[in-house]
Structure 1
Amino acid sequence: MLRQRHVCGPVRALAIAAVAGLLASAAALPASAQNATPAPAAEVPTGATGAQATPEQLATAVQFLKVSGLTIGFDDIIPQYLQQATAIYAGQRPELSSMINEAAVSLVPEFMKKRNDLDTSLAKFYTTRFSEDELKQLIAFYQSPVGKKLATQQQEILRDSMPVVQGWTRELQDSVMKRVREEVEKKGGKLGPSAADAADDAAADAPANKPAAPAKK
């Protein structure tokens, strides 16, 4: 039986980068794109009315996702999963390796449709926040030279920046715990060490507290 496995490291990194790209897209746009000409008064974004997106608006949002490269990180997930499944099954039945590989290749079109379904689902988040005209303005930006450069570079930038963000959040968390404790102690209160401090202290004390080996007779 095929055991369930978690997403492998590279796939998880790609997925996180892609989602991070979706969240960071507005911040990444230059001021000229962020301050795009507002939609005409007669065309109200669907998010303001709760109206369902038109097929044209949805198609425009999908086009925006494609030209912006915001979801390109998901493109490698399908081949990664197919390779993973192939390796697992081939490991169980080596004599069927050729048949397993052929089956995986034949399934590519089926799963690529699921990839398109993801774009359609994600596009709906944009149709509730941007009018069709606004989406077209965003597309125009990403079709410009600087927009194309941003689309090709943003996933790599996001991947490279993840360790920086993780280090910053760890340092911030430790600093917040420390400073709160210090301010409370200034007022006469007493707080115990944080879990991180306790772990560090335990690690630092471990060698010193280790009982000495009994002397050999």
Structure 2
Amino acid sequence: MTNMMFSWFFKPLRAIFIALLTIMAIQTPANAQELDVDRIAMARQYVDLTDGAQLFETTLIRTGIETMRTLVSQNPTEADAVSDAIGVVIEAYSTRKDELFNQFARVYALRFSMEELREIVAFYETEVGRKLSASNSIINTELSTVMQIYQANLNIEFFAQVRAELRANGIEM
């Protein structure tokens, strides 16, 4: 019964999902082209210039904290040993930043021409570009908060509007 109640909702979502998969499949062959090494290097320069939040290091630390919480909750008497093991693993991973950032660079190199990448890098090398890069982490957090508030309000308002529309059509829910 519950499945039938929501099938009207999931049918359009399934169609959207299939359309997105199709678009991604169509774009993949064009993106699979071999990229120029210089273009990847320029994109990597952009990635390095915009890493004000130290994404890789922050991710490692967050992962370490989550691992610590999980393992210590299972065996609180081993907190020191867990902490030491996490330190060893973080140290081992700390040398792998290039793996991630090189993949980021490839994504940008696929989307931007060499000239565009040069312009982007030139901007981020300016005082305003450095300020933007340094502020992005805080700005993104603030934007996320604004979006969460907007989404919460939208959920309430949208639901009320749909019910009002149904009521106008003689359907009470």
Q: With structure 1 as the length reference, what TM-score do the two structures score?
A: 0.54
The aligned counterpart of 2:76 is 91
Partner of 2:35: 53
Matching of residue 154 in structure 1 with residue 154 in structure 2: no
Stretches of structure 2 that go unaligned for 5 or more consecutive residues are 1-28
Count of matched residue pairs:
142
User: Does the alignment pair 1:72 with 2:54?
Assistant: yes
Paired residues of 1:66 and 1:72 also in contact (CA < 8 A): no
Name the aligned partner's letter for residue 129 of structure 2: G
Choose the corresponding residue for 2:100, options 96, 108, 118: 118
Inter-CA distance 70–136: structure 2 relative to 1 (3 Å threshold): farther
> Contact between 1:67 and 1:142, CA under 8 Å: does it hold in 2?
yes
Counterpart of 2:170, as a letter, is G
Q: CA 1:65–1:190 in structure 2 vs 1: closer, same or farther (change >3 Å)?
A: same
Residue 92 of structure 1 and its aligned partner are, at CA, apart by: 4.1
Verify the 8 A CA contact 2:68 2:82 in the aligned structure 1: no
Structure 2 CA distance for partners of 1:178 and 1:86, relative to 1, 3 Å: closer
- Measure how far apart 1:178 and its partner are: 1.4
Matched-pair identity in %: 20
**Distance in 1 (alpha carbons) for counterparts of 2:82 and 2:31:** 53
Alpha-carbon spacing, 1:54–1:142, altered in 2? closer, same or farther (3 Å): same
Please state which structure has a larger fraction of its residues in helix. 2
Q: Is the 8 A contact 2:47 2:105 kept in 1?
A: yes
Alpha-carbon offset, residue 63 of structure 1: 1.5
Q: How far apart, CA to CA, are the structure 2 residues paired with 1:100 and 1:180?
A: 52
Please tell me the root mean square deviation across aligned C-alpha atoms, in Å.
2.9
Q: Verify the 8 A CA contact 1:68 1:139 in the aligned structure 2.
A: no
Q: What is the CA–CA distance in structure 1 between the aligned matches of 2:112 and 2:120, rounded to whole Å?
A: 10
Q: 1:174 to 1:74 in 2, by over 3 A?
A: farther
Show the 5 A alignment for 1:1-217.
Answer: 50-69=32-51, 72-85=54-67, 88=71, 91-93=76-78, 97=80, 101=84, 103-186=85-168, 188-192=169-173
- The change in CA–CA distance for 1:182 and 1:151 in structure 2 (over 3 A counts) is same
Residues 43 and 106, structure 2, Cα contact 8 Å, conserved in 1? yes
The verdict on how the C-alpha distance between 1:56 and 1:110 changes in structure 2, with shifts beyond 3 A counting, is farther
Question: Aligned-pair distance for 1:112?
Answer: 1.9
Contact 2:47-2:101 within 8 A present in 1 as well = yes
1:27 alignment counterpart: none
Note if contact 1:61-1:127 (Cα within 8 Å) is conserved in structure 2. Answer: yes
| Unmatched segments (≥5 aa) in structure 1 | 1-46, 193-217
Call closer, same or farther: CA 1:118–1:182 in 2, change over 3 Å: same
116-125 or 140-149, which moves further after superposition? 116-125
Q: Identify the residue that residue 210 of structure 1 maps to in structure 2.
A: none
